[in-house]
Structure 1
Amino acid sequence: MDLNYSIYGTGEPIVLIHSGDIDSRAWGELVPLLARTHQVVTFDARGTGRSPAPQEPLNLVEDLRQLLDDLKLEQVTLVSGCEQGDTVFIAGAYLSYSDG
């Protein structure tokens, strides 16, 4: 997995997904609170933060699926900092991953 990600805490996993114009640092204040009772995963989407730029057409759903597979996370709660159209991505990622 070449995406930059971090894991904090233990417990039921929560994956925090930032909106497109920022990176995982957006969750800085929330992570310590959630990590008291959960395993919290943050990541920089491809082309943001410390993750590499895309080398082919960007597929955010596949990147999230690969991250969850690499971390061996089967059931997660997804929390999105996204708005409007990005919510479609979140729903697609959840359905694609849970069906696959």
Structure 2
Amino acid sequence: MAWIALVVSGVLEAVWATALGKAAGFSRLVPSVVFVVALLLSMIGLALAMRTLPTGTSYVVWVGIGAALTVTYAMATGEEPVSALKIVFLLAIVGGVIGLKALH
């Protein structure tokens, strides 16, 4: 259950990071509200996961999922250029997350 909460909260991290970028300094209402809601839910999920999982592992997995999904979404929507090296490094992040899960 802790891993499910952690993965969901990592996905929500990508949501709030993307919404923050679209909020234009909190001048746009909808992205600002999405940011706040996703941030709160993401933190709650991370806190729940940390009841069972080690803090370091939880945090790295949470950040890794959020970062990888945020960059992938930005590349998929054309907001950020795609490059072979970016894909290699994103795969390294995903590999690290999978490795930490396998060790725990």
TM-score of the superposed pair, with normalisation by structure 1: 0.32
> Per residue, is there more helix in 1 or in 2?
2
Look at both structures and tell me which one has the larger radius of gyration over its CA atoms.
2
Higher strand share: 1
